Amino acid sequence: MLPAPATRDPRESMTVLPGFLQFPLTILTGKALPGQRSPGWTPTFHLVTATTSMAAGVLISTLAYALGGPFLLLLAAGWAVTLHGMRNLRMMIYHQCSHRNMYRRRSPDRAMGHAVSSLLIIQNFQRYSREHVSDHHALDHMTLKDPTVQAFLVSLDLHPGMTRRRMWRRLLGKLASPRFHFAFAVSRARSFWNESARTEKVAAVTLYGTLALVTAATGTWPALLVVWFVPLVPLFQVSNTLRLCVKHTFPEPSLEDRRSRAYFASLTNAIFLGDPAPAPQMPAARRALAWTRWTLRLLFVHAPSRYLVLTGDTVVHDFHHRHPRAANWPNYVFARQEDAERLAPGQPPYHEVWGLVPAISHVFDSLAAADPEEFDVDRLRSVSKRELFAAFDD
């Protein structure tokens, strides 16, 4: 597998900052310091924070829309907070429920999975659970049978042999395309409805039917579109697609070992956010400029990437693939660090890439070098593109 770029560990370099900043930096970067203690988060903590974030975002957007004028600028903040809650519901709560690992009991996990799919209109819980566990967490991982690979080849139209630049152009073109987003939204609705449980259908019809009737009767349907459907459809789908592009690397063509723990570990990297802190040996003026640049990039590049794309435990997705039913998943950042520190001799080491853009480029490079025969899209002609958008997330 293509090695992740070697560099000075950015997280270790940040220890020059005051101690009270170390916990926030751990959450933002996604990487804990050696020996750093876990806060003792629980599944309920993540459920409450995700739903609270979503509710707070809706409130902010509603107030901004109602007040109008310069307050409309707050819509962007409201959308961001709403999207963050939606993505955490999808990427942590729904995902862990599919592994029957949220509360580790079948009935509550399934009921919660149904509720999330009905609210967000995503692939129905039953089908997602089946495909995710049988095709993505098995020997077919990162083969043509894996929905993640199918999404790359068919929905994004990215293939072995393409240059990194061409892949980036195609990705950005898709994200800016109304046709892409319309097809994505239609796919979500169809994937939700097909095979969905009666409870999922009833919940979705009741929720969105009531919203439609109330907003039509009160003439507030434009507010519903702006406040709820902007983060639910285009923004959710942009985050979804960017997340897809960092999930897993493609195997090297010459690799014969396709069954060992080392092989499967090599297909997933942690994606951390941040830059190395400026070296203290620099002259004062250069050091001041370096810290200014470092701070601006942290606030306006890495923080949005963490908050809107690499939400929740997606930064340490490699830990999940090693331990898909880990009971300590709520403390994901710290659990991964502890696991990395206590790896037994012979166990495959963890890998990491720093930065959202470098992580996407790293995946694109692995696809560019992949075997074109192994990942020949013509072998997937029977796969419906409409069905593949639903596979964009782990």
Confidence of residue 345 (pLDDT cuts 50, 70, 90): confident
Give the lowest-confidence range in 21-30, 310-319, 341-350, 355-364: 341-350
Give the lowest-confidence range in 48-62, 253-267, 357-371: 253-267
Q: Could you give phi then psi for residue 273, rounded to 5 degrees?
A: -120, 130
Buried b / exposed e over 207-225, threshold 16 CB at 10 Å, is eeeeeeeebeeeebeeebe
d(CA 37, CA 53): 25
Confidence of residue 256 (pLDDT cuts 50, 70, 90): confident
Residue 167 confidence (pLDDT) above 50: yes
Contact 351, 270 (CB under 8 A): yes
Residue 82 confidence (pLDDT) above 90: yes
Contact 125, 114 (CB under 8 A): yes
d(CA 293, CA 301): 11
Contact 272, 29 (CB under 8 A): yes
Residue 383 confidence (pLDDT) above 80: no
pLDDT, average across residues 362-382? 89
DSSP string, 258-278: -SSHHHHHHT--EEE---PPP
Residue 2 confidence (pLDDT) above 50: no
Residue 166 confidence (pLDDT) above 80: yes
The predicted structure's pLDDT at residue 257: 81
pTM over 0.85: yes
User: Percentage of residues in the chain with pLDDT exceeding 90?
Assistant: 82
Tokens of 349: 């080491």
- For the stretch 135-157, pLDDT in tens is 555 678 888 888 889 999 999 99
d(CA 57, CA 227): 9
d(CA 367, CA 382): 22
d(CA 327, CA 14): 30
pLDDT, average across residues 255-266? 85
The predicted structure's pLDDT at residue 379: 81
